[in-house]
Amino acid sequence: MRWIGFIILIVLAAVLQSTVVSWIRIHRIGPDVLFLVAIYYLLHAPPAEALLAAWAAGLTLDLFSDVRVGTFALSFGLVGLAVMRMRDLLFKEHPLTQLVVTLIGCELSQVLARAISALLEPSLQWGLADVLLGALYTALYTAILAPYGLWLLDRFRGPLGLKPVDRLRRRRRR
């Protein structure tokens, strides 16, 4: 993995998250571009680098949003651990797999981050329905965009330093 390419991608995603996403929001609900970057690395990078990339994407979201630093870093990291446990069982290139993994992962990370924010800042006055529905809408929006976003990121696999997909696995004869 090339870290310079990753840093450029994270900065670009953060700029998109703070500018373009504000234009396409529907009732304060928008996609989570940095989570798409985290999912891409969790599905395609080596394990240690993938977890570090997910944590860095969460930390970047913390820095560009109005939550306490570490909230999204923790939630992206925990979701990253879950995705890493099951990624060998998944067909990572299939759009339906990408959609489902993004939907579930984003839902979990949003619920965790919103719950932490609601606990640490009682002035928000979020109820359980606010936390769950807000997270669900964000996860749905992000999941709908996931196959397109991950396809676009896959076009830059070389500059990002990720190995190409081995589409044909050859069996050795005994």
Rounded to an integer, the average pLDDT of 60-77 is 92
User: Which has the minimum average pLDDT: 50-64, 85-99, 160-174?
Assistant: 160-174
Residue 2: its pLDDT value, please?
85
Residue 35: DSSP 8-state: H
What amino acid is encoded at 23 in this protein? W
* Sign (positive or negative) of CA dihedral 114, 120, 123, 129: positive
Tens digit of pLDDT for each residue in 2-49?
889 999 999 999 999 999 988 888 888 899 999 999 999 999 999 999
In this prediction, what percent of the chain has a pLDDT beyond 70?
A: 94
- Picking from 111, 82, 87, the residue whose alpha carbon sits closest to that of residue 98 is 87
Flag whether 121 is in a domain: yes
Flag whether 133 is in a domain: yes
- Picking from 85, 62, 88, 66, the residue whose alpha carbon sits closest to that of residue 75 is 62
Tens digit of pLDDT for each residue in 110-120?
999 988 888 88
Flag whether 17 is in a domain: no
Angstrom distance (rounded) from CA 14 to CA 11: 5
Contact 21, 31 (CB under 8 A): yes
Residue 168: is its pLDDT beyond 70? no
* Sign (positive or negative) of CA dihedral 48, 49, 53, 54: negative
C-alpha angle 2-31-7 in degrees, rounded to nearest 5: 15
Structure tokens at 157: 């696999």
SS3 12: helix
Residue 134: is its pLDDT beyond 90? no
Contact 72, 1 (CB under 8 A): no
Q: How confident is the model at residue 166 (pLDDT cuts 50, 70, 90)?
A: low
**Which residue range forms the structural domain that includes residue 64?**
29-156
Flag whether 67 is in a domain: yes
Total number of domains constituting the chain: 1
Flag whether 106 is in a domain: yes
Residue 172: is its pLDDT beyond 60? no
Number of Cβ atoms within 10 Å of the Cβ of 145: 18
Rounded to an integer, the average pLDDT of 50-57 is 96
Distance of CA 144 to the CA centre of its chain: 13
Flag whether 146 is in a domain: yes
DSSP string, 47-105: HHHHHHHHHHHHHHHHHHSSSPTTHHHHHHHHHHHHHHHHGGGS-TT-HHHHHHHHHHH
Structure tokens at 151: 């396809």
Calculate the average pLDDT of the chain.
89
